[in-house]
Structure 1
Amino acid sequence: MSTPTDASPRYTLAQMVLYMLRLGALGFGGPVALVGYMHRDLVEQRGWVSESDYREGLALAQMMPGPMAAQLGIYMGYVHYHIMGATLAGIAFVLPSFLMVVGLGRAYAHFGGLSWMQAAFYGVGAAVVGIIAMSAYKLTTKTVGQNKLLCAIYLTLAIVTVVTESEIAWLFIAGGLVNWFVVARPKWFNKGGLNAAAAAHLPVASGVLSGLDWPLLGQIGLFFTKAGAFVFGSGLAIVPFLYGGVVTEHHWLNDKQFVDAVAVAMITPGPVVITVGFIGYLVAGFAGACVAALGTFLPCYLFTVLPAPYFKKYGKLPAVKAFVDGITAAAVGAITGSVIVIARRSIVDWPTVLLALVTALLLWRFKKLQEPVIVSAAALTGLVAYPLIRSHAI
């Protein structure tokens, strides 16, 4: 049922898979940075994916529940190679960081904690703010531009995200509807025929792991499937949901272990939501990590590939294009707001302020500078500076 794009692909499926493997292995900065990398690499530099296809993918990732960066990566694979491309791109994107967090989980369990993590994250967290600020700036200028209505939608979502420190799913849909009604007002609206209004089709995922024989793995599977199926927005949006289930409800981890799990996700490349692999490992070993990751990512995969053919088939219609543009402006506004939310947690003193500013300036000045180099330098800076700052404070 899939509909090919107008242009033939300028790349092979193997090239896309290798790119996603590299992004999953070296892509630091969380969801905001990752979607920025995909735009820079796949749209601007390589020309593998068109601007319109990228916008459709970003809008779909924001409309559907699940981690945004992973869904966009899946959609990038779908654009020219459909189900096979989406499947392989999704696996390639998630696999490197999954293996890393499982390795760190094993070390954490064996040594009783990772004391260096807080020091490394002190530096990395500040550098990440600079990275995602530059990504948000590029996305804003590219997708919103000088359009006053899109700017209004963008600013509204940015402010709401900063104030509430969360991404409100229905506001993305509202942004799309507002732009649709203004830019490509449907005929039935002018006639007052409200009964002809179209309904949004949002499929609901079911717990795919409910039939497992092992009680603990079954609980893990059901909980993380629910997390992947019902949490909207970026990977960071899943953190409060995970805390409520992992710490408060099931008591699988204590507060310190959960904070360490989030820190592991932030200092490793790939999607932030890969913290579920670390959590699953601490709860039930390698099997727990696999079940947690599968439960989280399977819904987001289905929520991408099932509606994708309809996005490809009807995405060029004026009404659909206006709707997608509105959702995209809302999504980028939320991404920009999340930069401030993350900065509140990572920028804690003058050294971190300086590190974030230096990162942004380096990326502005040197366009080809690789983010992993910055992140590595920031981690080393944190390992050296954090103990000195703590001792001075004491």
Structure 2
Amino acid sequence: MATQASYSLTELVRYFLRLGTLGFGGPPALVSAMHRDLVAERGWIAENDYREGLALAQLAPGPLAAQLAIYLGYVHYGVWGATLTGIAFVLPSFLMVLALGWAYVQFEGLPWMQALFYGIGAAVIGIIAVGTYKLTRKTVQSDDWLGWTLFGISALATAIMETELLWLVLLSGGVYWLVKSPPQLIRFNAGNSLAPFLGQMLALPADSTLWQLALFFTKAGAFVFGSGLAIVPFLYGGVVKEYGWLTEQQFLDAVAVAMITPGPVVITVAFIGYLVAGFPGACVAALATFLPCYVLTVLPAPYFKRWGKHPGVKAFVDGITMAAVGAIAGAVVVLARRQLTDWPAIILALTTVGLLYRFKKLPELTVIGGAAIIGLLLRYVG
């Protein structure tokens, strides 16, 4: 904590409540909004502090936008600021997702609900495809053959195996580090910080669904790198393939819910938890996912200035990020194979891609709303 703040903690918390309530567009849009509002316009956060927070958020696993919000809360108000800004940012979308989860469970059998998600699901495929394209262009330089190799291997592996391979993502970081910035040993001691939470989980019965949810979503929060979309292949491999908690259609609907609500995309975990075990499941899934990213942001924050710009760390982060974006690209293929099963769905997805590519500032919520209406029309007119 360096200079004295020119704003109160209450003002910062109020800002993140508003961003969490109205901030659509996923991690790129949310991260950009924080820079515009807090650095450029209000001058609450220094440019260097923002950049260091963004670098730490990219280095640590978990949802990028939520981690940056936590770090910015820490800059002038320490752990208390980090805690309150993190809660303020996540809480609005969590409550919205709970409401949608209740409605989904209550009305899933109704034709209009199925029709809504038919149109939304197709549009979500297009949105994720465009987002992946932008992430790829931003992440991998055109002349970086090693980066493209790591990206391609990760994308292909995810598309074939239908799950993100954590060891491959971490290995990509190691390979890129060894090639681009040959070794100097750097120690990270944040791993043991999850022990208290793990201890609480172990107190639950071994066969408890809540225990399984807590363990799985802790892994999701502690080991998934990249933007919020990077968690999609990992979640698919667990909740659909391994545990069978959700059907493939329910999973795609969960992704759609994340896209139509503001705040971090990762909040889809609360929707999944609600479908599996009701309100307790939603709370456990959300807490288990966000607690590791909170811990892994707050603990290294005081020391990040010391090693955050180290070439070895930067190379490791770059390698992991390229592989994570590759996993997102593979996930697009996996999800598209299951959602785009007829020509109307294919046309909706392609139209979404065309609209977002042609009109750069077109709100994604507008596209999703239009797709939902089209889904209803196809159901009742077609």
Whether these two folds match at TM > 0.5 is yes
- Deviation, 1:353, is 2.0
Aligned residue for 1:208, secondary structure, equals helix
Describe how 1:208-247 pairs up with structure 2 within 5 A.
208-211=200-203, 219=208, 221-231=210-220, 232-233=223-224, 234-236=230-232, 237-243=234-240
- Counterpart of 2:57? 57
For residues 339-391 of structure 1, what are the alpha-carbon distances to aligned partners after superposition, in whole Å with 9 as ceiling and x for unaligned? 222222222222222222222222222222111111111111112114555xx
Q: Which amino acid aligns with 1:298?
A: L
Q: Which amino acid aligns with 1:34?
A: G
- 1:342 maps to 2:339: no
> 8 Å contact 1:37–1:135 — kept in the other structure?
no
Aligned residue for 1:228, secondary structure, equals helix
Q: Which runs of 5+ in 1 are unaligned?
A: 188-196, 249-254, 390-394
- Deviation, 1:224, is 2.5
Aligned residue for 2:164, secondary structure, equals coil
Q: Which amino acid aligns with 1:371?
A: E
Selected match of 1:298 from 291, 298, 303: 291
> 8 Å contact 2:273–2:285 — kept in the other structure?
yes
CA distance in 2, matches of 1:150, 1:44: 30
- Deviation, 1:226, is 0.6
Question: Aligned-pair RMSD on alpha carbons?
Answer: 3.8
- Counterpart of 2:165? 168
- Counterpart of 2:122? 126
Describe how 1:344-363 pairs up with structure 2 within 5 A.
344-363=337-356
- Deviation, 1:83, is 3.3
TM-score (norm 2): 0.76
- Counterpart of 2:27? 35
For residues 70-118 of structure 1, what are the alpha-carbon distances to aligned partners after superposition, in whole Å with 9 as ceiling and x for unaligned? 5565456556765345433432333223212322344455557554332
Change (3 A) 1:349 1:222: same
CA distance in 2, matches of 1:10, 1:133: 40
- Deviation, 1:69, is 6.0
- Counterpart of 2:227? none
- Deviation, 1:167, is 1.3
Q: Which amino acid aligns with 2:306?
A: K
Q: Which amino acid aligns with 1:318?
A: P
Q: Which moved more, 1:109-118 or 1:92-101?
A: 109-118
CA distance in 2, matches of 1:279, 1:339: 19
Change (3 A) 1:109 1:317: closer
Q: Which amino acid aligns with 1:54?
A: L
- Deviation, 1:284, is 6.2
CA distance in 2, matches of 1:152, 1:8: 46
Q: Which amino acid aligns with 1:229?
A: T
Change (3 A) 1:303 1:221: farther
Query: Percent identity of the aligned residues?
Result: 46
> 8 Å contact 2:218–2:292 — kept in the other structure?
yes
- Counterpart of 1:192? none
> 8 Å contact 1:208–1:222 — kept in the other structure?
no
Change (3 A) 1:165 1:16: farther
Change (3 A) 1:310 1:52: closer
- Deviation, 1:289, is 3.6
Describe how 1:1-394 pairs up with structure 2 within 5 A.
20-21=16-17, 24-25=20-21, 34-42=26-34, 53-61=53-61, 70-71=66-67, 74-75=70-71, 83-108=79-104, 113-148=109-144, 149-186=146-183, 203=191, 205=194, 206-211=198-203, 219=208, 221-231=210-220, 232-233=223-224, 234-236=230-232, 237-243=234-240, 259-260=249-250, 263-267=253-257, 268-269=260-261, 270-271=263-264, 273-278=266-271, 280-281=273-274, 286-388=279-381
- Deviation, 1:300, is 3.5
Q: Which runs of 5+ in 2 are unaligned?
A: 225-229
Count how many residue pairs are aligned between Structure 1 and Structure 2.
358
> 8 Å contact 1:315–1:321 — kept in the other structure?
yes
Aligned residue for 2:60, secondary structure, equals helix
Aligned residue for 1:367, secondary structure, equals coil
CA distance in 2, matches of 1:79, 1:151: 35
CA distance in 2, matches of 1:223, 1:363: 38
- Deviation, 1:314, is 0.7
> 8 Å contact 1:71–1:304 — kept in the other structure?
yes
